[in-house]
Amino acid sequence: MSKVDIDWKNLSYNYTKTDFRYVSKWQNGQWDEGALVEDNMLSISEASTALHYGQQSFEGLKAYRRQDGKIQLFRPDQNAKRMQDSCRRLLMPEIPEEKFIDAVKQVVKANEHFVPPYGTGATLYIRPFIIGVGHNIGVKPAPEYLFCIFCLPVGSYFKSGLTPVNFIVTDYDRAAPTGTGRVKVGGNYAASLYPHKLAVEKGFADCIYLDPLTHTKIEEVGAANFFGITKDNKFVTPNSPSILPSITKYSLMHLAKEYLGMEVEERDVLVDNLDEFKEAGACGTAAVITPIGGIHYKDNLHVFYSEKEVGPVTKKLYNTLYGIQFGDVEAPEGWIVEV
């Protein structure tokens, strides 16, 4: 394998083409073997359902370089299962868990020299996706599907340590109460671009979505899940059928309980009762945890721990999960898969 000339410490989150990607086709009722290819362009029918009716789903996970140089994945089985949920909701053929994980490993191995060195905080981001393709014009499931995975090196989200950011509550909804909010599909993201733009224009990192039915409860922080630490030290996160179940969130819940001895609650989080929290954060694969400095709601900025500094519980949660992902902290059984 050739060495690549990359400034690992100053990587952004922009697309870069790596050497190999995986493509598998579903045709005549079954998936083919799948193969690694070098071409990063897809050629599909102009009448593909993915292009017109949003019949598609994606996932996001990372490969981490450990101190001993080996490469590991974090809970890829959870991404495989979540993609199966998405496929069921949009009537797309499911990808068997084994095929999913095997394909991820193939892509990482083939692009091994793009996995950033340990200690840089950088990782290899992996993007699996499935799209409905083939000739079709009526609103119905596609006759054929492509399951693809590409990867790219990405920098650490926080180059100078964890930094809190502020968010603003939006009047827009990202999903309907029993719509597609709980599955990882592109349509949810198309709907989020405009409220995101408005939030950024007002000087916030992103917007916070309330529950679509009553607009009284916090649901998502941009494209990340919300958690708060109550004044009596409970880890609390919203419970709703329109929230995307974040693997990072469920991992943090487990760590809060089993590693930090905290009580954990999945329940309503009222936007009028933010005072119950001493700390708050957003979580997802990209940043692990984004500490929330304050939330702007009805002309008032509610500050949690501080707009400048990270609270101690958030910091501990972050260090524990980050340590597990890079192989420095012992992981719960089954969380780590070596490539």
Ligand X SMILES: *Cc1c(COP(=O)(O)O)cnc(C)c1O
What residues line the site for ligand X (CB under 6 A)? 60, 184, 220, 223-225, 244, 246-249, 284-285
Q: Which is nearer to ligand X, 26 or 167 (CB)?
A: 167
C-alpha span between 209 and 25 (Å, rounded): 36
Minimum CB separation of residue 126 from ligand X in Å reads 11
Q: How many residues in the chain? A: 339
Minimum CB separation of residue 159 from ligand X in Å reads 20
What CA dihedral angle connects 333, 67, 119 and 156, to 10 degrees? Answer: -30
Q: Which is nearer to ligand X, 65 or 184 (CB)?
A: 184
Q: Are 11 and 153 in contact (CB under 8 A)?
A: yes
Could you identify the residue written with the tokens 């590693």?
259
Q: Cα–Cα distances in Å, from 164 out to 122, 194, 290, 310, 327?
A: 20, 23, 7, 6, 25
Minimum CB separation of residue 213 from ligand X in Å reads 18
Question: Which of 62, 105, 184, 217 is flagged as catalytic?
Answer: 184
Determine whether 184 is an active site residue: yes
CB neighbours (10 Å) of residue 228? 23
- 247-258 and 312-325 helices, crossing angle to 10°: 110
| SS3 annotation, 22-38 | EEEEEECCEECCCEEEC
Q: Which is nearer to ligand X, 99 or 127 (CB)?
A: 127
Could you identify the residue written with the tokens 């495989």?
80
Q: Which is nearer to ligand X, 146 or 252 (CB)?
A: 252
Q: Which is nearer to ligand X, 25 or 184 (CB)?
A: 184
Instruction: Extract the tokens encoding 238.
Output: 């919203």
Instruction: Extract the tokens encoding 290.
Output: 């984004």
Instruction: For residue 165, give every residue at least 6 positions away whose Cβ sits within 8 Å of its Cβ, in sequence order, or none.
Output: 204, 205, 290, 291, 292, 293
Amino acid sitting at position 224: A
Minimum CB separation of residue 339 from ligand X in Å reads 19
Minimum CB separation of residue 43 from ligand X in Å reads 27
Q: Are 46 and 130 in contact (CB under 8 A)?
A: no
Minimum CB separation of residue 303 from ligand X in Å reads 24
Instruction: Extract the tokens encoding 67.
Output: 């101190």
Just list the catalytic residues.
184
